[in-house]
Structure 1
Amino acid sequence: MEKTTSGGGGGGGGGDNKKDRIFRADKIDLKSLDKQLEKHLSRVWSRNIEKNHKAMEEEWEIDLSKLETRNVIARGTYGTVYKGIYDDQDVAVKVLDWEEDAKNRDLFRQEVTVWHKLNHPNVTKFVGASMGTTNLKIKSADSENSLPQRACCVVVEYVPGGTLKQYLIRNRRKKLPFKVVIKLALDLSRGLSYLHSEKIVHRDVKTENMLLDAQRNLKIADFGVARVEALNPKDMTGETGTLGYMAPEVIDGKPYNRRCDVYSFGICLWEIYCCDMPYPDLSFVDVSSAVVLHNLRPEIPRCCPNALANIIKKCWDGNPQRRPEMEEVVKMLEGIDTTKGGGMIPEDQSSGCFCFAPARGP
């Protein structure tokens, strides 16, 4: 039996070592073993967490030493946007100030989480992000010294044509040809349809958050308040967005889903056609109560072709369940005939388009 225990070819010393490792069960300190096992598992878990965290960072983290930030493009509620260059590519750099506010930190993580996996021609392309700005160099005279210590930044493609809102304001008097109206509407509807297919609700669809490139292609921007759609509609509440574009259920604090974006799209579609602002003479309080209680909507001009007017009305229906999906809106817009004109009548050619005359614009 001793030969079996000591093993073959190991010599007497090998046998003694083997025997030394044999213990009586009633002599084993189980508490000590538990502590050793717990320490070992804790080290393994910590290494896995660090490894996973590093892998997550590598998905979207950028090298700030390659980023050159220049002039300010825009300032908003959620941060300042600069023009810059990253890896020889023109980019827009959005700097968010964390300070001690956990909300800003959450907004940043939310925006990056939503944006970095998206890929569609009508959605601004995500380049990368950074959780800090230690190595961020800003050449702008009004920025370098005032850059917050706990800021973070998100970098996206630079879209040179400005916002859709600015473009509509420039065309406020002469209006847009009907073909251009439908082209812009299709770009926006296709972008939103894609977001909804990815279970993302933008929640702040408005012409200020749409950008135009050099060829006047529209790209959806600003995912600062976007979020993945909740499986339970009751989990999505709260007044989020911009009042004039906000769906009645959102204003009223009721649960909502992606169809709140459809409502906002309806307002944008009216704005694109009319090159005008919704509710210009009403206060925020008046708009809120009138939209919810009295079904207030902007007036659709009589020269607007029925096919387009019907889409607008369906999109801004007070009942979310009656609003079409954005995928359906795309198909309806694709079916509109633009060869016979139908654009808004320019102000210098008519006293207005809110009349009974059947005139049609370009």
Structure 2
Amino acid sequence: MWCIMDSKNVETDEKPKSEVSESNLKGMGSIRENHILGDSNMSASTKDMLFRADQIDLKSLDVHLEKHLSRAWSRNVDTNGPKEPWEIDLAKLEIKNLIARGTYGTVYRGTYDDLDVAVKLLDWGEDDMATSTELASLRASFRQEVAVWHHLDHPNVTRFVGASMGTSNLRIPEKTSSDGPTDKLPSKACCVVVEYISGGTLKGLLYKNRRRKLPYKVVIQLAMDLARGLSYLHSKKIVHRDVKAENMLLDTHRNLKIADFGVARVEAQNPRDMTGETGTLGYMAPEVLQGKPYNRKCDVYSFGVCLWETYCCDLPYPFLSFSEVSSAVVRHNLRPEIPRCCPSSLVNIMRKCWDANPDKRPEMDEVVKLLEAIDTSKGGGMIPEDQATGCFCFGQIRGP
């Protein structure tokens, strides 16, 4: 049995002789003698190559095909200049030091065109572990969502600088931290570049003030920043899906900016297209914990928990396990305990946001209006621990 292969339909980056060796074509004689894959002066009559189909080493050809796909993976970044409006030139990106390692990637600090930036490397699977179909799906999804982020522009959302579909030209110092040398970059990876925010996270601020607490005016200012940022994202049909204090960054003026779009996605037209447990324990809405369809209202629930956390400078459910929290939130309507010194206007917002029924939760633009109407001139913050004597919650004492 013989097989005819048209060389015009075979895409390759190298000369054919490196892709198919003599050992692949047993019984065919010398390649040069047969003039099948010979020199560059091959005549037009030999462009149709004939092989014994039963003697082709298919396993070896699979290896060559995989190598070809790996080269094609990063081909976009190997060409001169960006191909998409959001695609950056990696030659202009300089990595300085490691900031953090997270669930969805590794974050570095660097510069891009003299701008301080944070660079997040996202690994899309170990080499040879993802099929070409899976990789194509990941690339398509990444392109769609990055194209949306590229157009975001709001003072309470971390500014998106650009992204790259590959990392073949990325320059990372041999040692970027005291932890040791940099890990080898995976060949199937991408990077996202955003503005660098130097003031730390909201979680860090709350931890520093866990004893003395935050003034009521600061609590409301931070809450309004977060609410306005989420309202903007929702207006663009984006659901963050992991709203928590750790994902909120602060600049030097303590302005809050929403960050970490690692699990964010464009809101589906059909809510049933958005399912699965996505988020962080303690902030996850009941419908997410149950694996039910959800929409942007899961962010509203998480905001309610963040609002409580900002007021109390404490963690929700610190002594409960994942299973205990999941069960209690869904079956027993467990929510963080609100101190009695908390002003009723703020209590009202918390309870509206973490209502078990998503349809009863307010939209984030409504939350913004409720927060703007709060009077902070008379204080109302959480009572500092060194001032809390006796059962203060039943008294008329108000925090700063």
Normalised by the length of structure 1, the TM-score is: 0.81
- Per-residue CA distance 1:193-218 (angstroms, 9 max, x = gap): 00010011111111111100111100
Output the amino acid matched with 1:326.
M
The answer to whether the aligner puts 1:116 opposite 2:150 as a matched pair is yes
Q: Is the 8 A contact 1:123 1:221 kept in 2?
A: yes
Structure 1 distance, partners of 2:384, 2:158, is 31
Shift of 1:147: 2.1
Structure 2 distance, partners of 1:109, 1:145, is 26
Structure 1 distance, partners of 2:377, 2:97, is 42
Structure 1 distance, partners of 2:122, 2:391, is 43
Output the amino acid matched with 1:81.
V
Normalised by the length of structure 2, the TM-score is: 0.74
Which of 260, 278, 288 is the aligned partner of 1:222? Answer: 260
* Aligned counterpart, 2:367: 329
Shift of 1:286: 0.2
Count of equivalent residues? 310
Which of 295, 306, 313 is the aligned partner of 2:333? Answer: 295
Which of 113, 120, 128 is the aligned partner of 2:162? Answer: 128
Instruction: From the superposition, tell whether residues 139 and 353 of structure 1 become closer, same or farther in structure 2 (CA, over 3 Å).
Output: farther
Q: Is the 8 A contact 2:382 2:398 kept in 1?
A: yes
Instruction: From the superposition, tell whether residues 70 and 213 of structure 1 become closer, same or farther in structure 2 (CA, over 3 Å).
Output: same
* Aligned counterpart, 1:69: 95
The answer to whether the aligner puts 1:338 opposite 2:376 as a matched pair is yes
Structure 1 distance, partners of 2:181, 2:393, is 51
Shift of 1:105: 3.9
Structure 2 distance, partners of 1:55, 1:146, is 25
Output the amino acid matched with 2:357.
N
CA RMSD of aligned residues (A): 2.1
Which of 241, 245, 255 is the aligned partner of 2:293? Answer: 255
Structure 2 distance, partners of 1:131, 1:114, is 15
Structural mapping, 1:90-169, within 5 Å: 90-98=116-124, 99=126, 100-101=129-130, 102=134, 105=138, 108-109=142-143, 112-139=146-173, 141=175, 142-144=180-182, 146-169=184-207
State the SS of the aligned residue for 1:342. coil
Which of 202, 206, 210 is the aligned partner of 2:248? Answer: 210
Which of 297, 303, 327 is the aligned partner of 1:265? Answer: 303
State the SS of the aligned residue for 1:223. coil
Shift of 1:136: 1.1
Structure 1 distance, partners of 2:395, 2:380, is 13
* Aligned counterpart, 1:25: none
For structure 2, which runs of at least 5 residues remain unmatched after alignment?
A: 1-75
* Aligned counterpart, 2:314: 276
Shift of 1:349: 1.2
Output the amino acid matched with 1:139.
P
Structural mapping, 1:301-312, within 5 Å: 301-312=339-350
Shift of 1:78: 0.7
* Aligned counterpart, 2:107: 81
Higher Rg: 1
* Aligned counterpart, 1:7: none
Output the amino acid matched with 1:62.
I
* Aligned counterpart, 1:181: 219
For structure 1, which runs of at least 5 residues remain unmatched after alignment?
A: 1-49
Which is worse superposed, 287-296 or 63-72?
A: 63-72
Output the amino acid matched with 1:124.
T
Instruction: From the superposition, tell whether residues 165 and 283 of structure 1 become closer, same or farther in structure 2 (CA, over 3 Å).
Output: same
Shift of 1:187: 0.2
Shift of 1:109: 4.2
Which structure has the highest helix share of the two?
1
Structure 1 distance, partners of 2:119, 2:223, is 27
Structure 1 distance, partners of 2:183, 2:275, is 39
Structure 1 distance, partners of 2:96, 2:256, is 24
Structure 1 distance, partners of 2:224, 2:363, is 14
Shift of 1:348: 1.1
Shift of 1:83: 0.3
Q: Is the 8 A contact 2:157 2:229 kept in 1?
A: yes
- Per-residue CA distance 1:295-349 (angstroms, 9 max, x = gap): 0000001110000010000000111111000000000000000000000011111
State the SS of the aligned residue for 2:212. coil
Output the amino acid matched with 2:204.
Q
Identity over the aligned pairs, expressed in percent? 74
The answer to whether the aligner puts 1:59 opposite 2:97 as a matched pair is no
Output the amino acid matched with 2:339.
P
Shift of 1:58: 2.3
The answer to whether the aligner puts 1:316 opposite 2:354 as a matched pair is yes
* Aligned counterpart, 2:236: 198
